């Protein structure tokens, strides 16, 4: 097997591993809503972390055997692999709109990455690393605050957290490239410790934020957002700090902008599809009028009489009755206005 074919095979297996990890993360988020970031007691979550680590390792090995312009676009196939895998393994079928959005995001991302031209081995100095770390930390915190403010809209909150996770992963890739370049230049390991610490913090933050992004938003929208934002952020840093450019001059730049628009349109389509699904499945307060019987409509439209307390009603009834003056006790013989037979006998005996 040639080196090029091996790099393609490793890239495809890496995308499958990433897709499997994302599916397991989404299932963990759906079954443990009270544990937002790190369900440490769930073995499924650790399996998802292992799959993500395997995907990252295979991606790095694929870069060693193949060109960046080929390996990076193949990583975007994670979105395409995740949807049928979710339908097969967890019975989570995606609609036509989700498929269109996923394909648009994949095609746009692959085109954008294929047009990026890698430069020579360059590293960042200490000032640039500090600036990049501070800007990344501030951006991730701002996205987390915005996601917390949008807690009533699960899809919007999920996309914001996925953007924060993708940014953390992308900048971690930038620092990883910097450490690799410095390692080739025989830089002492002690000098690399701050960069290694930043990589560890950003990678852990990306894992926790991506886990939180799957809560209440399904699989397609968070996964697509992380998959697109991660390489786009890394490519933006490469264009600004590493001197990378787009192929084919101005034509390549315009094509790259078009690919970015297509990828963004795919993400918007995925987000709107999820919002529409939540709106359609929301419980209604009462069924429509044409779906009910005439008796149900009569009972629904009849005015409701508010029951009043019995005590108040009894008091009102007593107030309406006329006052009866006290009467002297009547003699027994005057009962019903007619003398009783036994009373007459007593009078005759007494007389």
Q: For residue range 291-347, what is the model confidence (pLDDT) as tens digits?
A: 455 555 544 545 555 555 544 444 444 444 555 555 555 555 544 444 544 445 444
Please tell me the number of Cα atoms within 13 Å of 291 on its side-chain side: 3
Q: Is residue 286 part of a domain?
A: no
Highest mean pLDDT among 32-41, 140-149, 179-188: 140-149
Highest mean pLDDT among 23-32, 70-79, 317-326: 23-32
Q: Is residue 161 part of a domain?
A: yes
User: The tokens of 120 are what?
Assistant: 């020579």
For the ranges 23-27, 86-90, 110-114, 216-220, the lowest mean pLDDT is seen at 216-220
Taken as a whole, the chain contains a residue count of: 351
**What integer is the mean pLDDT of 15-36?**
85
Q: Give the model's pLDDT for residue 165.
A: 94
Give the dihedral sign, CA 67/70/73/77.
negative
**What integer is the mean pLDDT of 272-285?**
66
Q: Is residue 347 part of a domain?
A: no
Q: Is residue 103 part of a domain?
A: yes
Q: How far apart are CA 161 and CA 215, in angstroms?
A: 10
pLDDT band at 13 (very low <50, low <70, confident <90, very high): very high
Three-state secondary structure string covering the chain: CCHHHHHHHHHHHHHHHHHHHHHHHHHHHHHCCCCCCCCCCCHHHHHHHHHHHHHHHHHHHHHHHCCHHHHHHHHCCHHHHHHHHHHHHCCCCCCHHHHHHHHHHHHHHHHHHHCEECCCCCCCCHHHHHHHHHHHHHHHHHHHHHHHHCCCCHHHHHHHHHHHHHHHHHHHHHHHHHHHHHHHCCCCHHHHHHHHHHHHHHHHHHHHHHHHHCCCCCCHHHHHHHHHHHHHHHHHHHHHHCCCEECCHHHHHHHHHHHHHHHHHHHHHHHHHHHHHHHHCCCCCCCCHHHCCHHHHHHHHCCCCCCCCHHHHHHHHHHHCCCCCCCCCCCHHHHHHCCCHHHHHHHHHHC
Q: Are 194 and 260 in contact (CB under 8 A)?
A: no
Q: Is residue 310 part of a domain?
A: no
Q: How far apart are CA 37 and CA 210, in angstroms?
A: 8
CA dihedral 209, 214, 219, 223 (to 10 degrees): -10
Residue 338: alpha-carbon gap to chain centroid: 92
Prediction pTM value:
0.70
- Whole-number mean pLDDT of the chain? 78
Q: Is residue 60 part of a domain?
A: yes
For the ranges 61-70, 155-164, 240-249, the lowest mean pLDDT is seen at 61-70
Q: How far apart are CA 328 and CA 323, in angstroms?
A: 16
Q: Give the model's pLDDT for residue 336.
A: 45
Residues 6+ apart with CB under 8 A from 76: 15, 105, 106, 109, 110, 113, 227, 228, 231
Q: How many domains, the chain?
A: 1
**For residue 173, is pLDDT > 50?**
yes
Q: Give the model's pLDDT for residue 97.
A: 84
Q: Is residue 319 part of a domain?
A: no
Domain of residue 260 covers 3-279
Q: Is residue 333 part of a domain?
A: no
Q: Give the model's pLDDT for residue 119.
A: 61
Give the dihedral sign, CA 142/144/145/149.
positive
CA distance between the termini of the chain: 145
Q: Give the model's pLDDT for residue 322.
A: 54
Q: Give the model's pLDDT for residue 330.
A: 52
**For residue 22, is pLDDT > 70?**
yes
**What integer is the mean pLDDT of 21-42?**
81
**For residue 62, is pLDDT > 80?**
yes
Q: Are 170 and 210 in contact (CB under 8 A)?
A: no
For the ranges 9-23, 131-145, 210-224, 255-269, the lowest mean pLDDT is seen at 210-224
> 221: which strand partners?
none
CA dihedral 22, 27, 29, 35 (to 10 degrees): -120
pLDDT band at 202 (very low <50, low <70, confident <90, very high): very high
Residue appearing with tokens 């915190």: 141
């Amino acid at each position: 097997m040639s080196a090029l074919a091996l790099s393609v095979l490793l890239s495809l297996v890496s995308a499958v591993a990433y897709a499997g990890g994302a599916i397991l993360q989404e299932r963990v988020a759906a079954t443990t809503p009270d544990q937002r970031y790190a369900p440490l007691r769930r073995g499924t979550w650790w399996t998802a972390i292992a799959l993500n680590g395997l995907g990252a390792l295979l991606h790095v090995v694929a870069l060693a055997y193949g060109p960046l312009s080929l390996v990076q676009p193949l990583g975007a196939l994670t979105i395409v692999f995740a949807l049928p895998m979710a339908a097969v393994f967890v019975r989570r079928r995606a609609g036509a709109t989700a498929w269109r959005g996923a394909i648009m995001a994949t095609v746009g991302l692959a085109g954008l990455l294929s047009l990026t031209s890698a430069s020579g081995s360059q590293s960042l100095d200490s000032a640039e690393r500090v600036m990049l770390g501070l800007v990344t930390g501030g951006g991730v915190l701002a996205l987390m605050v915005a996601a917390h403010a949008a807690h009533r809209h699960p899809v919007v909150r999920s996309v914001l957290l996925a953007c924060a996770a993708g940014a953390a992963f992308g900048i971690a890739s930038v620092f990883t490239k910097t450490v690799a370049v410095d390692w080739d230049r025989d830089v002492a390991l002690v000098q690399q410790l701050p960069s290694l610490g930043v990589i560890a913090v950003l990678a852990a933050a990306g894992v926790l934020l991506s886990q939180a992004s799957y809560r209440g938003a399904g699989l397609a929208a968070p996964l697509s957002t992380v998959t697109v934002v991660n390489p786009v952020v890394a490519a933006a840093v490469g264009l600004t700090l590493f001197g990378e450019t787009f192929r084919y001059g101005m034509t390549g730049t315009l094509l790259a902008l078009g690919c970015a628009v297509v990828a963004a349109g795919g993400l918007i389509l995925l987000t709107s599809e999820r919002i529409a699904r939540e709106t359609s499945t929301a419980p209604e307060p009462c069924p429509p009028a044409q779906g009910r019987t005439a008796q149900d409509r009569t009972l629904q439209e009849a005015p409701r009489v508010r029951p009043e307390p019995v005590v108040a009603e009894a008091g009102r009834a007593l107030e309406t009755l006329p006052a009866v003056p006290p009467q002297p006790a009547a003699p027994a013989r005057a009962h019903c206005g007619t003398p009783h037979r036994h009373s007459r006998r007593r009078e005759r005996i007494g007389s």
